[in-house]
Amino acid sequence: MSDWSADPDGFNESVIREFRASGGVVGGELAHVHLLLLTTTDVRRGRRRTTPLAYHRRGERYVVIASNGGATTHPKWFRNLERDPNVTVEVGAERFPATARILDGAEHDAVFAAIVARAPAAGAFQEKAGRTIPVIELVWLMGSADPTGRSAASSGVPPLRWTSSD
């Protein structure tokens, strides 16, 4: 992998290549990080853009934060999904369409607090950024197979509870 600080785009591209080549397993400094690939549509150019992100679980749903490493601005991928919430998620060897739902109010606060309890770096990013870090829930699209292999019609909406497996 290339060095994040010297070449963030090159680093992300190498993570994406390794993730896809190994069924979602990445080595090096990210070996113990739960990673997913989030593909959004660049609203300016209409191109699909993929970003590797750490994820957290909320029941059977995936949650990501738009920390941008503690930068004062939101990451580009977040700006894209604000305008077009239709995304593609890759976790392990699974790939599925989803809708990005930006959490707000008390729901945002509770989920972000739970994330910080499990991953204190998220809290440090919040302090460094001086902004509210968005929390995004990735909800698989109805009519497609969900990431656990059930159909949306048969399983209903996955429960909203934190798992202890993370």
Position 101 pLDDT exceeds 80: yes
Whole-angstrom Cα distance, residue 122 to residue 115?
Answer: 7
Whole-angstrom Cα distance, residue 83 to residue 93?
Answer: 27
- What are the structural domains of the chain? 8-148 (2.30.110.10)
Per-residue pLDDT of 32-76, as tens digits, reads: 899 999 999 998 899 999 999 999 998 888 999 999 999 999 999
Q: Model confidence at 161, in pLDDT bands (50, 70, 90)?
A: very low
Task: Compute the mean pLDDT over every residue in the chain, rounded to the nearest whole number.
Answer: 84
pLDDT of residue 43: 85
Q: Which of 8-17, 36-45, 139-148, 157-166 is the most confident on average?
A: 36-45
Q: How many residues does the chain have?
A: 166
Q: How many CB atoms lie within 10 A of CB 15?
A: 23
pLDDT of residue 10: 84
**Percent of the chain having pLDDT more than 70?**
80
Report the SS3 class of residue 122. Answer: helix
Position 150 pLDDT exceeds 70: no
